[in-house]
Homo-oligomer: A and B are copies of this chain.
Amino acid sequence: MKNLNLLLIFVVFFFSCQSKNTTSEEEKPSKNSKEKFGIVIHGGAGTILKKNMSDSLENAYKAKLKEAIETGYAILESGGSSLDAIEKTINVMENSPLFNAGKGAVFTNDGKNELDASIMDGRTQNAGAVAGVTTVKNPINLARAVMENSEHVMFAREGAEQFAKEQGIELVDPSYFYTENRMKALKRAQKREKVELDHDDKTVFYDPLIKDEKFGTVGCVALDKNGNLAAGTSTGGMTNKRWGRVGDAPIIGAGTYANNNTCAVSSTGWGEFFIRGVVAYDISAMMEYGGKSLAEASKTVIQEKVPEIGGDGGIIAIDSEGNMAMEFNTAGMYRASMDANGKLEIAIYGE
């Protein structure tokens, strides 16, 4: 059997070399084509059910998703960069109280709003991330400043805010992030926690909007006309979180990953499992080393690998050919996509 395996390995290497050369030759012209671009966004995944959603709320979500994705799409269409498209698209969602990011961020156990974000440039594989900032209006902008204006990738808490000040990033009073809805969610979580027997070592997750507060996040991935991929993610974290908990959103490889050779990915899931599964990079690695398509890799990771270790959530992704994926194993995921033809899709629930 060993000999057969060895033989197989040679055969596979031989064919994969052949196919690689041929593919890259075949694909080169299409990569330079100005027609391949696209954008995908998410506004969090979770137990989002039609029966729990009023028509007016559903319409509000859809309208904001549309506004966000059209913002980025316009940038891409006019030849702008995927990084610009991502930043501006995420800003729209950060500035809306509908999503758990920026304005609309959930409260920590001690009644604060601590925000995380990350961004990655598929062309250079440069990246920026911030964790636990409380006065930065748009954390994705700070993540981009970390990427572009420092030698570093990740800054946390007070230090990150000091950097924000030095960079002239827009700061707000922490009270800017206060929303009635999120405060209610915190009180509800803390009330529930009190009656749980095992409250000592558990943090309760809950959000009346998505019926589960592990998953609130916004994200965007884009391919621009120059063939550059980028990904970004921004979040307010987890309702009632403690101990300076860091989720997957600011972790490069888990919450965000982009590489022009493969794909760009933004995650929204139960962060702990997405960190352990190195989810965003896993999809890229499965494409690069395993020869899988974006659709196959996304499906395998979200429908098999993440549940295997006990987690749930979803991802959005786009590859260097403009193929898109919106994969989730929860009841729903706020999401939208627009391709090079301007075809817009907006959805909330599962099929």
Interface residues of A (CB under 8 A from B): 1, 4-5, 8-9, 11-12, 15, 19, 22-23, 26, 120, 124-127, 129, 131-132, 149-160, 162-163, 201-203, 242-247, 251-254, 257, 271-272, 275-278, 281-282, 285-286, 288-291, 309
Cα–Cα, bound, A218→B117 (Å): 28
Min CB distance, A43 to chain B, in Å? 24
As for how many copies of this chain the complex holds, the number is 2
Min CB distance, A166 to chain B, in Å? 8
Q: Considering only CB atoms, which chain B residue lies closest to A270 in the complex?
A: B151
Q: Considering only CB atoms, which chain B residue lies closest to A257 in the complex?
A: B278
Is the beta-carbon distance between B12 and A203 smaller than 8 angstroms?
A: no
Is the beta-carbon distance between B202 and A151 smaller than 8 angstroms?
A: yes
Min CB distance, A260 to chain B, in Å? 12
Min CB distance, A244 to chain B, in Å? 2
Is the beta-carbon distance between A158 and B276 smaller than 8 angstroms?
A: no
Cα–Cα, bound, A4→B271 (Å): 40
Q: Considering only CB atoms, which chain B residue lies closest to A287 in the complex?
A: B289
Which chain B positions have C-beta within 8 A of A131?
A: 156, 246
Of A23, A202, A254, A277, most buried by chain B (CB within 10 Å of CB) is A254
Q: Considering only CB atoms, which chain B residue lies closest to A159 in the complex?
A: B244
Is the beta-carbon distance between A127 and B252 smaller than 8 angstroms?
A: no
B243, B244, B289: the one contacting A285 at CB < 8 Å is: B289
Which chain B positions have C-beta within 8 A of A242?
A: 159, 162-163
Q: Considering only CB atoms, which chain B residue lies closest to A9 in the complex?
A: B291
Which chain B positions have C-beta within 8 A of A276?
A: 120, 125-127, 153, 252
Which chain B positions have C-beta within 8 A of A153?
A: 246, 271-272, 275-276
